[in-house]
Amino acid sequence: MSLSFLLGSICNVYFSWKQLMLCELHYFFSIILLVLLLSGAWFGFSRYSANLEQRSLVVNLPSIEVSSMEGRSFYLREQIGTPLILIYFNSTCPICQSEAELIRKVFSEEQKVTFIWISSETVAEVKDFRDRYDFANLSNHTFFI
């Protein structure tokens, strides 16, 4: 065996190993890129589908108009994008009364959410209910009839 054959064999083994490593790195980076693309697509789709779900809720809001005790009109569809809790109540209902107490205790400091109370009773009955549970002093609670 000559020295040139031995050196040639060593070079061939070295370059074959280097090509193999480059090929493995190529596959490794391809897999990493694929994982990043798929996770980005999943993240984007999940945000998009959440927005679609929220939009479908907004589209399905009923188009109702109610009047406040002060005579101000309220349109539900105009409240899109604001946190809103809509409560239908009757002042003589024991469940409504217990929920009013609970809402007053739990959400008295909450200012980010607007509470809309709607009743089909008279103005005097609604005012009595509002005053009984001390909602008159809270700016984010509005009563409509």
Task: Kindly report the pTM of this predicted structure.
Answer: 0.56
Read off the pLDDT of residues 65-81 as tens digits, 9 standing for 90 and up.
Answer: 788 877 888 777 777 67
Q: Where are the domains of the chain?
A: 1-60, 65-144
Strand partners, 141: 115
What DSSP string runs through 97-136?
A: HHHHHHHHHHHTT--SSEEEEE-SS-HHHHHHHHHHTT-T
Please give the CATH number for the structural domain made up of 65-144.
3.40.30.10
Average pLDDT in the 23-39 region?
64
SS3 92: coil
